[in-house]
Structure 1
Amino acid sequence: MSAVNSSILTPEFFILTGVPGLEAAHIWISLPFCFMYIIAVVGNCGIIYLISHEEALHRPMYYFLAMLSFTDVTWCTTTVPNMLCIFWFNLKKIDFNACLAQMFFVHMLTGMESGVLMLMALDRYVAICYPLHYATILTNHVIVKVGFATLMRGVILSTPFTFLTKRLPYCQGNFIPHTYCDHMSVAKVSCGKVKVNVIYGLLAAFLIGGFDIFCISVSYTMILRAVLTLSSTDARRKAFSTCTSHIGAIVITYVPALFSIFTHRFGGKDIPHHVHIIIANLYLMLPPTLNPIVYGVKTKQIREEVFKLLFREKDVFDMK
């Protein structure tokens, strides 16, 4: 009897149902997500390759962009292939421990995404407010340290999600109405008390998102003050133009995230569940898909290096 109870309380696997209520449309839903995933992988890997191989881009701003691209491509890869297997091949089963691992990486990389955006805001603050000391403040050693600190923050704050979820009894079944293992989606399947999970989820969101948004807001307040003191209109325009790509990345990341969090917490009864699931997937897919496009279009140096690389390849091809 104890063995049976143990297997019920800790299932061997979960069943990810996909988008509940829209099972018949899974194929159609999969097409835009597959297209976005291809763009995300190609675009972010292209930026990483460009920054690593072009010496002109070996600067702090682009190192942070490479961190963002690596986080983006890893972030969507933790969920989209599994999602497409559900949509295309009806492979809905996921091992219990694999589900917990996916949950950990989703939340850890979410924290990394937010942290890197915060570091990029600080980079712009130093570049605009202290241009003469930019190279001495943001050395390679400092970049490695702050990047590692951001990674460790994500790991430390995401690890409790795994243990808090694993301790719960799952005696109400093992069907998760989602396309991937999200902390609260898994916890809600439990028949135990999830109050601690809810409280810690809000605390982690505040410690990561709240802190990063505060730092970004302070950085851009100081940037705005510094830019407005410039006498030249052209100088003000150039200063603002260096921030437009980053501001676009912030909007792309935080708006869907905040909308998903608030509708999930406070608007659950008014919004259909399949809308929650689609928004949650868009929240994971929009930043990795759009960030390479935003930075490729808005950042002059990246555009120039792309053109150089393309013409270089063309010249090599013509020589052959």
Structure 2
Amino acid sequence: MQNIPVQNFSFISFKFSGFYDLGEWKHFLFIPYFLMFLLSTTSNSVLIYLIASQRALHSPMCVLIGLMSVVDLCLPIFFVPNMLLSFLFNWNGISLAGCLIQMFCIHYIGAFQSTVLVWMALDRFFAICRPFYYHEYMKMPNFLKFVILPAIRNIILITTMVSLAGKLQFCIKNEIDHYFCEHMALVQLACGDISLNNIVGLTAAFLIPTADVVFFTVSYLIILGSVLKSGKPLLKAINTCITHIIVMAVAITFALIAFMSYRIRNDFSSSIRVFLSTMYLLFPSCFNPIIYGIRTKEIREQFFKFMSRIKFLPPCRNNPDRSIVM
């Protein structure tokens, strides 16, 4: 808790100062972050196009994978381009209004990374553990019951968190030790009592990504047990579940370490905290298209068909009847 008395002024513009202890070396971070952003943007765009254009991929599971790709495509766009420009040209400024908008977009869209995984886990649970009732469960009116509550939870918690941050006065300094407007990175610059902001931030962290990952993990463990009881090969069961759990476990570990590093005494350097904060957003966006896209049989088959058409069909400028049919 901060006991700094409230001042008569409040900063309305800020400057990002993440990785400041790296000095001039931070400019070289442009390369890895640009490559990760390029991988995320390209892979998710291709996956979205395939699922939208190929009628064979309009199953509930593939639609959910497409929704995941939309989330993974949008999330880095809210902060990575600005971070890359900062690395190259030291363009570090942002207004308070812009900061709050960026905070809302990142945290709100980021919340759906884990929430979509819950919906996907439900789809797999119904398909594997309740196969005779799968189509009944996956009818839109029934499935909406599982969609609405998490969506309402996300918007209430994130809106509350950002609204409380917007009511603060910022009189300590106007340098945000980060490369995007993470909640606590901004709130810790406020003068006055921030205990309520701290509590709401922790509540959002544990009720959204942590709760989702626990539900997701339990669901896949039940699926794993069901597959094993059915007599299917152990390797296939492990291949179906464990990879998904590992990726989300790594992402949630990054997120929780980053969140808690603001609230407890620790020896974490500023650069490590900023790195972990960017990784819990970028890491899933880069690897989800591979895990949920290419490793899904139906999507993989359509992807290879799509690539073979691009490679082997001649240009259709003079013969419109030979255009590629998607």
- Is TM more than 0.5 here? yes
Q: Which residue of 2 aligns with 1:282?
A: 279
For residue 103 of structure 1, what is the amino acid of its counterpart?
M
Which is further off, 303-312 or 23-32? 23-32
In 1, Cα distance between equivalents of 2:18 and 2:84: 10
Does residue 75 (structure 1) correspond to residue 75 (structure 2)? The answer is: yes
Query: What TM-score do the two structures reach when normalised by structure 1?
Result: 0.89
Q: Which residue of 2 aligns with 1:251?
A: 249
Query: What TM-score do the two structures reach when normalised by structure 2?
Result: 0.87
In 2, Cα distance between equivalents of 1:203 and 1:248: 24
- Shift in Å at residue 94 of structure 1? 0.4
User: What is the 5 A alignment of 1:16-55?
Assistant: 16-55=16-55
1:232-264 Cα shifts (integer Å, max 9, x gaps): 43xx55455443553354234323223323444
1:269-307 Cα shifts (integer Å, max 9, x gaps): 311111111111111111111111223442222221111
Q: For the structure 1 residues 29 and 318, does the alpha-carbon distance in structure 2 shift closer, same or farther, using more than 3 Å as the test?
A: same
Aligned residues of 1:256 and 1:282 also touching (Cα < 8 A): yes
Aligned residues: 311
Q: For the structure 1 residues 294 and 224, does the alpha-carbon distance in structure 2 shift closer, same or farther, using more than 3 Å as the test?
A: closer
Structure 2: 5+ residue stretches without partners: 1-6, 318-326
Q: Which residue of 2 aligns with 1:291?
A: 288
Structure 1: 5+ residue stretches without partners: none
Q: Which residue of 2 aligns with 1:190?
A: 190
SS at match of 1:317: coil
Percent identity (aligned): 34
- Shift in Å at residue 42 of structure 1? 0.8
- Shift in Å at residue 39 of structure 1? 0.7
For residue 201 of structure 2, what is the amino acid of its counterpart?
G
Q: For the structure 1 residues 193 and 241, does the alpha-carbon distance in structure 2 shift closer, same or farther, using more than 3 Å as the test?
A: same
In 2, Cα distance between equivalents of 1:300 and 1:180: 37
Which is further off, 187-196 or 213-222? 213-222
1:81-124 Cα shifts (integer Å, max 9, x gaps): 11112111111110110000001111111211111111111111
SS at match of 1:21: helix
Aligned residues of 1:72 and 1:287 also touching (Cα < 8 A): yes
In 1, Cα distance between equivalents of 2:113 and 2:145: 16
Aligned residues of 1:169 and 1:191 also touching (Cα < 8 A): yes
Aligned residues of 2:75 and 2:110 also touching (Cα < 8 A): yes
Q: For the structure 1 residues 43 and 249, does the alpha-carbon distance in structure 2 shift closer, same or farther, using more than 3 Å as the test?
A: same
- What root-mean-square deviation, in Å, do the aligned CA atoms of Structure 1 and Structure 2 show? 2.2
Q: Which residue of 2 aligns with 1:121?
A: 121
Aligned residues of 2:178 and 2:185 also touching (Cα < 8 A): yes
For residue 245 of structure 2, what is the amino acid of its counterpart?
I
For residue 21 of structure 1, what is the amino acid of its counterpart?
D
For residue 291 of structure 1, what is the amino acid of its counterpart?
N
In 2, Cα distance between equivalents of 1:123 and 1:232: 19
Q: Which residue of 2 aligns with 1:162?
A: 162
Aligned residues of 2:19 and 2:178 also touching (Cα < 8 A): yes
For residue 259 of structure 1, what is the amino acid of its counterpart?
I
